[in-house]
Amino acid sequence: MDNEKAAEAFKKLQNAYEVLLDTEKQKTYDDELIREELLNLFRRFQSTSQTALAALIGVFVGFNLAILVVAISGTVFLWFYGSFWTTAFVIFLGGLAFMLSYERIALLITTVYSIYCAWAYVGWLGLLIGLNFSLFSSDVLMGVSRPKSHQ
């Protein structure tokens, strides 16, 4: 076995020596080596670009799906706790304002109608308590998540 391995190693060395002596064989070997390196580089780039494309598609689909779920749940929630025709009118007005690039007006319409629906369902006291709890929990969350400053 050792003789077979030695003979194989000697053949490789003899082949390499012949390539080094002959400039034509040397040029062919270099060209093949460059072609192989370029092919490997292309394969790595192709794999990376496919991964990046798949990640972008995943983010895009996931983000749009999340926006769609939030929009549908908000609409259904307002539909249940508000009036059918009023909710349809508010959705139409908000969509029209957003489509005409008046995003702040669309946000104002949605906020006012949401507050109206909450007020109609729980009254002024419930609305004020709910707003205070939401603001308080937001402040607590910000205080807890803020890194402590070193003094």
Do residues 90 and 79 make contact, with C-beta atoms less than 8 angstroms apart? no
Do residues 117 and 82 make contact, with C-beta atoms less than 8 angstroms apart? yes
Amino acid identity at 25: K
Please give the DSSP secondary-structure letter assigned to residue 101: T
> Per-residue confidence of the chain (151 residues) as pLDDT tens digits?
677 888 888 888 888 777 777 888 888 888 888 888 877 777 777 667 777 777 777 777 777 777 777 777 777 776 776 677 777 787 788 888 878 888 888 888 888 888 887 888 888 888 888 877 777 776 776 776 676 655 4
